[in-house]
A = this chain, B = another copy of it.
Amino acid sequence: MSFADSSAVKALGDGRWGASIQPGWDIAGNANGGYLLAISARALAAAAGRPHPITVTAHYLAPGRAGSVTAHATVVRHGTRFATAIATLCAEGRPMLQATGTFADLDALSGPELLDGRPPDLPDPADCIAARPSEPEGFPPPFTAHVDLRLHPRDATFFDGAASGQPLIRGWFRLPHDEPIDPFALLLAADSFPPTIFNTDLPVSWVPTLELTVHVRGQPAPGWLACAFRTRFISNGLLEVDGEIWDSDAQLVAQSRQIALVPRAARS
């Protein structure tokens, strides 16, 4: 099933939007955080009546399991260009994710341009390391069947048990079967790559995200996205991951930042 169908929402009335967390979009049983953010953002955008996310923040409250979910959305601002809405994504009435987003029509925005940065320097996708599901080991997880990830070989040595020593993951992203990448798929891309700390001496383990914010900066051109995720600060059991996502025209199309918990084994 495509990303678009797997993240679709339908109006249930009274500000409620229904969706299904599809099986297989998980890491060790927990649905991917970017996928959950994309579902939530589709509900928020529909509620706000604007086509594109500009800035979306999720606080993760409980693991997401496959099955029906409902987003309860409220529009808190409906301006000329921007509209803001909040939603709680719930499964069986229990909150799983709290989302806030501001939405607009990206195609109606314009202004001067400054780019102090460039896409990460990546080998051709064919010369990168594909992350594909491994059974029965479970790593890479089932989720990687739904995204086409190609990691920079220098950042992929952890697959063989040898961390690079730099909490940096660079690589290409696209959707399988040439599915077009819309701004909601950028939210997915922002949380699709393996954790940066797999390239440190911290344990290779679940890295729970407390909060993830994605800024969508432009409509992506067709083709591979060049992505880089970096952690600079680990302290007090917390770490941030900063992401940049560039399209095939070398335009920055999204920035992301999340704050996550250092794996429990390293904290105790």
A11 on interface, CB distance cutoff 8 Å: no
Q: Which of A1-9, A121-129, A208-216 contacts B (4 or more CB under 8 A)?
A: A208-216
Whole-angstrom CA separation of A20 from B198 in the bound complex: 47
Contact of A257 with B106 in the complex, beta carbons under 8 Å? no
Chain B residue with Cβ nearest A74: B88
Given contacts A76-B61, A77-B61, A259-B54, whether A106 and B236 have CB atoms under 8 Å apart is: yes
Q: Which of A63-71, A95-103, A148-156 contacts B (4 or more CB under 8 A)?
A: A95-103
Whole-angstrom CA separation of A103 from B151 in the bound complex: 34
Whole-angstrom CA separation of A243 from B142 in the bound complex: 36
Q: Which of A26-34, A107-115, A220-228 contacts B (4 or more CB under 8 A)?
A: A107-115
Whole-angstrom CA separation of A55 from B60 in the bound complex: 12
For the residues of A in contact with B, the DSSP-based class is strand
A167, A211, A236, most chain B CB atoms within 10 A: A236
Contact of B84 with A86 in the complex, beta carbons under 8 Å? no
Residues of B within 8 A of A233 (CB): 114-117, 217, 252, 255
A157 on interface, CB distance cutoff 8 Å: no
Q: Which of B95, B215, B235, B251 contacts A111 (CB 8 A)?
A: B235
Contact of A110 with B237 in the complex, beta carbons under 8 Å? yes
Which residues of A line the B interface, CB within 8 A? 54-55, 57, 59, 61-62, 76-77, 82, 84, 86, 88, 95, 98, 100, 102, 106, 109-117, 167, 200, 202, 210-211, 213, 215, 217-218, 231-240, 251-252, 255, 257, 259, 262, 266-267
Top 8 A-B pairs, shortest CB-CB distance? A111-B237, A114-B234, A61-B77, A116-B232, A109-B236, A55-B211, A57-B57, A111-B262
